[in-house]
Structure 1
Amino acid sequence: MTSEDLNRSRSASLKGAALDGPDAEKYVENAILDDYRTRLPDVNEAKLMRKIDMRVVPVLTVLYLLAFLDRVNISNAVLFGLKTDLKLSGDQYNIALVVFFVPYVLFEIPSNILLKKFKPHVWLSFCMFLFGLITVLQGLTQNLSGLVATRFFLGFVESGIFPACFYLISMWYKRSEAQKRFSFFFSSATLAGGFGGLLASAIGKMDGMRGFRGWRWIFILEGLLTCVVSATLYFVISDFPEDATWLSADEKEYVKARLYEDVGHSKRHEPLTLKTILSVFKDYKIIVGGFMYFGLIVPAYGYAYFAPSIIQSLGHGNIRTQLLSVPPWACAFVLAMLIATASDYFRHRFLFALAPTLIALTGFIILLVVHDNNHLQYGALFLSAMGTYSAMPVVVCWFNTNLAGHERRAVGTAWQIGFGNIGGIIATFSFLAQDAPKYISGYSICIAFICLGVLADVVYFCGVSVENRRRAKMGDDTLSFDEKKRMGDLNPDYRYFI
């Protein structure tokens, strides 16, 4: 059915209903929902979802895999002489790490605004090319100043990637379908961690080739790979459903109707203004969502940046350390997908966020108290990685998909990711060289922030549960349709996922 046909259908519905004003709008929207499968008989929903799955998530997964790889490969570079060649001492390495997060935190929301202004395939591929180029330049730095400068600009251009991808994915899927897709996308970080270790162990053998140390080759080759892939992704990154050129008109209408059924109007074309941005933060649950992610970021980056050094402190050489860093990432990917599948099946988030968080907590407690058993310490790294990187996508998906409409998702997602990544600043100064090999302070800080994350999860769970009970009253005839719309984020039947 074309847009003109749809408009005629709406007009006919209004006339037949003999209604006007808000009640008429309610009648029409319900009619659209009730018959969209009948109106669009040529659209096979299962086939359409497979088409979306093949086009949206895998492409963004490749994008984020390379972004995360370019962000954390500095931990691999350290093992091949970066600190020695750049004459880094004391906490200078930590300073280079923390600089990344300053622009990364500040430009999350502006980036999502630009994503709406430009099309996702333009904005994301452009950012990707830039962070690939900066990674190459990182491999050519000669001193601390050069390293700090490249890390700053890397954080600046990467700020547009992560929240934008989550925002884009959430606009394609119903909440009951989203967790597997979110976790698969997010788990590209775990794949990047494992792939980075394997790649670094191979590239490290190029040490001395053409006068470049192994750590320089890690940055140069991985950055060049990102630049080349970005040119391809310009043509294959999908835009929002309303703008996707690879969907027919009927398919676009079908996607729009099924998403309205889940969360209400998308409000795709309404501009983001300072007033609308500030209005989003009137909901305390938005603030809590930032702390849910904040509590997990510290252990996540603590692990990503310092796991190779921790493994090396167990008595392993450079190449063996890189190889031993791979299995925990692989196990984290498997557990994340199992939890995501179960979470979607049971249509529940809270317990599936809590359980892996407690696994991570167990791992860090073991690392804190055990210092004389290398096998147990290495096993604890598995628990730390598996729990942290399985809980994070659940927390992000739970919060993100409970935000109805483009406005709330653009702002809320950027806020959660941006505020949460302040934890990256804390993580980089948690594991200091003078604390090796026990890292008592680092593990203690990770444990404290995991507990903060658990508290935030509980507060959010209680908040959405109370709100759902309040929204259940929308069936009361004493409420006007306008009140029901306002309470339901433009869909009177809307309920939060718990």
Structure 2
Amino acid sequence: MNLASALTGGFATDIRVNQDTINLGNQLMFLGIVVLEIPSNMLLQKIGPRKWISAQVFVFGLIAVMQVFIKDRKGFLASRMFLGLAEAGYIPGANYTLSTWYTKRELSKRVAILFFGMFGGNALSPLLASGILKLDGKQGIKGWQWLFLLEGLFTMVVSIMLFLLLPGSPDVPKPLGSKGFIRFSESEQEVLQKRLELDDKERRPGAQGMHIPLSVVWKTVRHYRRWPHYVSTFAVFSTWSPLTTYTPSIIMALGFDRITANALAAVGASLACVVVFLFAYFSDWTNKRGLSVISAHACYLITLIVARSLHPHVGKWSRWGLWTAVNSFAVGYHPVALSWVQLNCRDPREKSIAIAMWVMSAITGLMVGTQYYRGDDTPFYSNGLRTQTIAVGIGMVFAILQTTIYIIHNKRVAQGKHTVAEGKRPRIYVP
């Protein structure tokens, strides 16, 4: 998100790049994430989250700081690629770690709270930027350089906190570098493990020292009943990429100054946190995972249609309201969709790879979505909004298909029409 704010601070002009290069840089970042997503989750299982996640965050922060030295197109593209490589595996690793601590009925809300980091960051980043960009010229450093420097250093501090405080798993709860804030006695640890076992009879220890053979990776990849998840996520999440990059610039084009535009951009992202949690709460409360995802898609789709229809006919504050609404509903389905995938995995190794595949589909969508808002469609991207509307519609269709597949499979199992290998129970899905 700080790139979006840096663009309002003259970043593209200073390094002599155009909008096409900015879009390409974001594509390279997302490509880096996709390339290392599954290998990173395999390493997470082997090394454990305490070491792997904290190391990832430190490297990411270091590369973010090094963006201060970008001077031209080549440096920008290289920094984007390395940021993506450093980030790969963090989101699936963090989500997998959460899934080892909570029961099925608790998971969506916890995943939503985790994603407050992403969506809340989109709200906080423009507000921070509106202040940090005022440092422009201090110590001979440009405003966008201060932005990358301070936020990168903060990320490195967070990595140290993770190293010291992040618990490993219910099986090995003590953090790596300290006693941690939350401590479990042996009896409490036993209770924690027991409640998870009662919730999932097939639960195995995970997130710590587990080898994932390539056979498990291949088995998970070819699990065809789960593929509508990935297609749906690819389509809908592709629409979020241009919003994160260009919303502050769009608000500036409405007639607001740079500082005000960054502050106003935070409103939609802040409301997104509320929307995300409401859909997550509904998902856990009803246990209707597919219905929750489809409902969130429907709200977003309606908002896009209304925004594109009314945008040419209203004033600047109403236009800002429309963009705020679009940003508010853009990710309401996201944590629910991810927890839906996790709840339909048996083996922790399968879950780890399935989460990685889901994130790969989401990031691939972001990579494609960087091209939705084009330079010849500025400043309000009517064609881009149309493309986003189509993408959300496609994603919603595949979410409905996924729900239908699960319901039909469960009915076949109940009727005894689904055969499995001897000694194994038939799989029952959460639709």
> Is the TM value for this pair above 0.5?
yes
Q: Offset at 1:329?
A: 1.3
Within the candidate set 299, 302, 322, 1:362 is matched to: 302
- Corresponding residue number in structure 2 for 1:295: 235
Partner of 1:437, secondary structure, is coil
Quick one: distance in 1 between partners of 2:346 and 2:392? 28
Amino acid at match of 1:265: R
Amino acid at match of 1:140: F
Bigger mean CA offset, 212-221 vs 431-440: 431-440
Q: Offset at 1:343?
A: 2.0
Within the candidate set 407, 414, 417, 2:349 is matched to: 407
Q: Offset at 1:219?
A: 0.4
Quick one: distance in 2 between partners of 1:450 and 1:211? 45
CA change 1:221–1:130 in 2 (3 A) is same
- Corresponding residue number in structure 2 for 1:427: 369
5 Å matches for 1:273-292? 273-292=213-232
- Corresponding residue number in structure 2 for 1:304: 244
Q: Is the 8 A contact 1:267 1:405 kept in 2?
A: no
Give CA deviations for 1:127-161 in whole Å, capped at 9, x if unaligned.
Answer: 00011011111122111111111110000010121
CA change 1:405–1:249 in 2 (3 A) is farther
The reply to whether residue 259 of structure 1 matches residue 196 of structure 2 is: yes
Amino acid at match of 1:485: K
Within the candidate set 167, 188, 205, 2:134 is matched to: 205
Quick one: distance in 2 between partners of 1:184 and 1:235? 21
- Corresponding residue number in structure 2 for 1:20: none
- Corresponding residue number in structure 1 for 2:424: 485
User: Gaps (5+ residues) in structure 1?
Assistant: 1-71, 489-494
CA change 1:466–1:483 in 2 (3 A) is farther
5 Å matches for 1:125-274? 125-245=54-174, 246-263=183-200, 264-266=202-204, 268=206, 271-274=211-214
Q: Is the 8 A contact 2:248 2:265 kept in 1?
A: yes
User: Gaps (5+ residues) in structure 2?
Assistant: 175-182
Q: CA RMSD in A?
A: 2.0
5 Å matches for 1:311-390? 311-369=251-309, 370-373=311-314, 374-390=316-332
Q: Is the 8 A contact 2:50 2:167 kept in 1?
A: yes
Quick one: distance in 2 between partners of 1:324 and 1:425? 26
Q: Is the 8 A contact 2:265 2:324 kept in 1?
A: no
Q: Offset at 1:486?
A: 4.0
Amino acid at match of 2:154: L
Q: Is the 8 A contact 1:105 1:418 kept in 2?
A: yes
Quick one: distance in 2 between partners of 1:372 and 1:207? 37
Partner of 1:305, secondary structure, is helix
Q: Is the 8 A contact 1:312 1:321 kept in 2?
A: yes
Q: Offset at 1:313?
A: 1.6
Quick one: distance in 2 between partners of 1:84 and 1:302? 19
Amino acid at match of 1:134: I
- Corresponding residue number in structure 1 for 2:429: 496
Quick one: distance in 2 between partners of 1:258 and 1:283? 29
Within the candidate set 399, 411, 415, 1:469 is matched to: 411
Q: Offset at 1:479?
A: 8.3
Partner of 1:371, secondary structure, is helix
- Corresponding residue number in structure 1 for 2:177: none
Give CA deviations for 1:93-113 in whole Å, capped at 9, x if unaligned.
Answer: 211221101111111111000
Quick one: distance in 1 between partners of 2:229 and 2:335? 13
Within the candidate set 386, 390, 398, 1:456 is matched to: 398
Partner of 1:421, secondary structure, is helix
Q: Offset at 1:496?
A: 2.4
- Corresponding residue number in structure 2 for 1:396: 338
The count of corresponding residues between Structure 1 and Structure 2 is 418
Quick one: distance in 1 between partners of 2:240 and 2:306? 16
Quick one: distance in 2 between partners of 1:301 and 1:175? 30
Q: Is the 8 A contact 1:293 1:396 kept in 2?
A: no
Q: Is the 8 A contact 1:296 1:392 kept in 2?
A: no
Quick one: distance in 1 between partners of 2:132 and 2:43? 36
Q: Is the 8 A contact 1:81 1:213 kept in 2?
A: no
Bigger mean CA offset, 193-202 vs 308-317: 308-317
- Corresponding residue number in structure 2 for 1:43: none
Q: Offset at 1:261?
A: 2.9
Quick one: distance in 2 between partners of 1:342 and 1:210? 50
Partner of 1:389, secondary structure, is coil
5 Å matches for 1:73-88? 73-88=2-17
Quick one: distance in 2 between partners of 1:295 and 1:308? 23
Amino acid at match of 1:497: V
Partner of 1:203, secondary structure, is helix
Q: Offset at 1:441?
A: 2.6
Quick one: distance in 2 between partners of 1:497 and 1:460? 11
Within the candidate set 93, 99, 112, 2:22 is matched to: 93
Quick one: distance in 2 between partners of 1:397 and 1:108? 18
Q: Is the 8 A contact 1:280 1:408 kept in 2?
A: yes
Give CA deviations for 1:209-236 in whole Å, capped at 9, x if unaligned.
Answer: 1111111110000001111121121011
Quick one: distance in 1 between partners of 2:407 and 2:9? 51
Give CA deviations for 1:288-316 in whole Å, capped at 9, x if unaligned.
Answer: 22112212211122211111122112111
Q: Is the 8 A contact 1:360 1:385 kept in 2?
A: no
Name which one, 1 or 2, has greater alpha-carbon Rg: 1
Within the candidate set 372, 378, 381, 1:436 is matched to: 378
Amino acid at match of 2:430: F
Give CA deviations for 1:308-367 in whole Å, capped at 9, x if unaligned.
Answer: 122112111100101101111111111222222222122222222122212211222233
TM-score, structure 1 length as denominator?
Answer: 0.80
